[in-house]
Amino acid sequence: MKRQIVFSILLLLLIASGCSSESDKQQGQIKHGNKVEKVELTVSAAASLQDALNEITTAFEKEHQNIKINYNFGASGALQQQISQGAPVDLFFSAAEDKFDRLVKNGLIKKENGLNLVGNELVLVVPKEANKQIQTFEDLPRANRISIGTPESVPAGQYAKDTLENLHIWKDLKDKIVFAKDVRQVLTYVETNNVDAGIVYKTDAMISPKVKIIAAAPEKTHAPIIYPVGVIKNSPHQTEAMEFYQYLQSPSSIEILEKYGFKGLN
């Protein structure tokens, strides 16, 4: 009798353990001892999003303790090429629609799993203690060196070139241009006085106490600055990627993005 009771108890424990394990698997929380295995997502995002996304991620990971977000920040063009070549990425947050649209066109992002999330502005910045008489874009010929992102790979660089061309001063400036790998490098060049001026997103200028904004590019001088985000079709973590994708659209996330200078589109 005692043996039967012991056997029955052991059987019940095994069944309970099995149910618990199955439940954990379904929630993406497979336990080993007292540890929970985390699903890690890789997000390729434009460099200008770095500060806002770091704050959003802190809040997201507190609410979703089974998901860890890893970032690959850089120029949108370079990130798009990496994804096209098979880089293991779960989400793409671009600073330009055309780079994002290429991945949609090539079937790497489903159209229904992507959207335009926020916008930005383009501004002219100079070092905080600048002594050159540069007050507007039209004053740039007075500068010795001006930095913009490389237009072929950095959306902000293409917007900057378009602006200077539409203001009819590109030809006067092109020999003075110092190209940078992304907007953060442009900002660094201005902060360290390696250039007299730089053209960056408003969101980048706002985070630096070492530069001052002296002018905003007229909207008609460049294409609208739109930031689309989407889930990569072949992500092995579709459920978790969609969770973060939806979280980025939440009011709390939009509020953080707007705090860093991004513009809501709705």
Report the binding-site residues for molybdate.
Answer: 48, 76, 156, 183, 201
Helices (H), 85-182: 97-105, 155-166, 170-173
Residue 218 and residue 225: Cα distance in Å, rounded?
12
How many helices (H) and strands (E) would you count in the chain? 10, 13
- Calculate helix-pair angle for 238-248, 50-63, nearest 10 degrees: 120
DSSP β-ladder status, 197-201 and 39-46: unpaired
Residue 264 and residue 266: Cα distance in Å, rounded?
6
DSSP β-ladder status, 39-46 and 91-93: parallel
Residue 185's φ and ψ, nearest 5 degrees, are -70, -40
Q: How far apart are the first and last CA of the chain?
A: 71
Residues 133, 142: contact at Cβ < 8 Å?
A: yes
Binding-site annotation, residues: 48, 76, 156, 183, 201
Residues 153, 147: contact at Cβ < 8 Å?
A: no
Residues 170, 161: contact at Cβ < 8 Å?
A: yes
For residue 79, what are the contacts with CB-CB under 8 A and spacing of at least 6?
44, 45, 46, 72, 92, 94, 99
